[in-house]
Amino acid sequence: MSSAVLELIYRDIASDMLEVEAEIRAVLESPVPDIASLLEVSGRYGGKRMRPALVFLVARESGGVCEGHARLGAVVELIHLATLVHDDVIDVATMRRRQETVNVRHGNYEAVLLGDIIFSRAIHLLARLGNRRALLALTQAVSTVCEGEILQNRHRQDPDLTETTYYTIISGKTAELYAAATGLAAHLAGAADGVVEAFALCGLKLGIAFQIIDDCLDVAGEEAQVGKSLGTDLRNGKMTLPLLILREQADEATKALLRRVILGQEDAGGVALLNDALRSSGALEEAVKRAEAHVAEGLLAVRSACGRDSLALAAVGRYVLERKL
Please name the amino acid found at residue 123. Answer: I
**Cβ(199)–Cβ(58) under 8 Å?**
yes
Measured between alpha carbons, how far is 195 from 78 in angstroms, rounded to an integer? 26
CB 200 within 8 Å of CB 179: yes
Q: Could you give the C-alpha distances from 282 to 50, 177, 237, 290, 321, in angstroms and in order? A: 30, 31, 21, 13, 17
Pair 183, 242: CB distance under 8 Å: no
Question: Which CB, 22 or 150, lies closer to its own copies?
Answer: 150
- Residue from 3, 99, 140, 236 touching its own copies (CB under 8 A): that is 140
Site for its own copies in 109-128 (CB under 8 A): 109-110, 112-117, 119-121, 123-124, 127-128
List for the chain the helix, strand, coil content (%; round to 5): 80, 0, 20
Site for its own copies in 29-68 (CB under 8 A): 30, 32, 34-35, 38
d(C-alpha 200, C-alpha 188), whole Å = 13
Q: Which of 4, 26, 66, 90 binds its own copies (CB under 8 A)?
A: 90
Binding residue for its own copies, selected from 41, 59, 89, 169, defined by CB under 8 A? 89
Instruction: Please choose, from the candidates 181, 197, 213, 205, the residue with its C-alpha nearest in 3D space to the C-alpha of residue 288.
Output: 213
Q: Rounded to a whole number, what is the largest CA-CA distance in the chain?
A: 63
- In the list 3, 94, 99, 143, the residue contacting its own copies (rule: CB under 8 A) is 143
Query: 135 pairs with which residues across the strands?
Result: none
Q: Site for its own copies (CB under 8 A): which residue of 8, 104, 139, 260?
A: 139
Least Å distance, CB 102 to its own copies, is 11
Count Cβ atoms below 10 Å from residue 40 Cβ, excluding itself: 13
Cβ-based nearer residue to its own copies, 28 or 274: 28
Q: Does residue 224 bind its own copies (CB under 8 A)?
A: no
Among 104, 146, 220, 277, binds its own copies (CB under 8 A): 146
d(CA 147, CA 153): 10
Number of residues that bind its own copies (CB under 8 A): 42
Rule CB under 8 A: which of 232-271 touch its own copies?
none
Rounded to whole angstroms, the Cα distance separating 111 from 103 reads: 5
**Shortest CB 140 distance to its own copies, Å:** 6
User: How far is the C-alpha of 18 from the C-alpha of 24, rounded, in Å?
Assistant: 10
Task: Give the relative orientation of helices 67-90 and 176-188 as an angle to the nearest 10 degrees.
Answer: 170
Least Å from the CB of residue 174 to its own copies? 15
Identify which range of 102-110, 256-264, 265-273, 299-307 contacts its own copies by CB under 8 A.
Answer: 102-110
Which of residues 127 and 256 has its CB atom nearest to its own copies in the complex?
127
Closest approach of its own copies to the CB of residue 305, in Å: 26
Q: Write the interaction track for its own copies spanning residues 148-187; mark x where CB under 8 A is met and - where it is not.
A: -xxx-xx---------------------------------
Binding site for its own copies (CB under 8 A): 30, 32, 34-35, 38, 83, 86, 89-91, 107-110, 112-117, 119-121, 123-124, 127-128, 130, 132, 135-136, 139-140, 142-143, 146-147, 149-151, 153-154
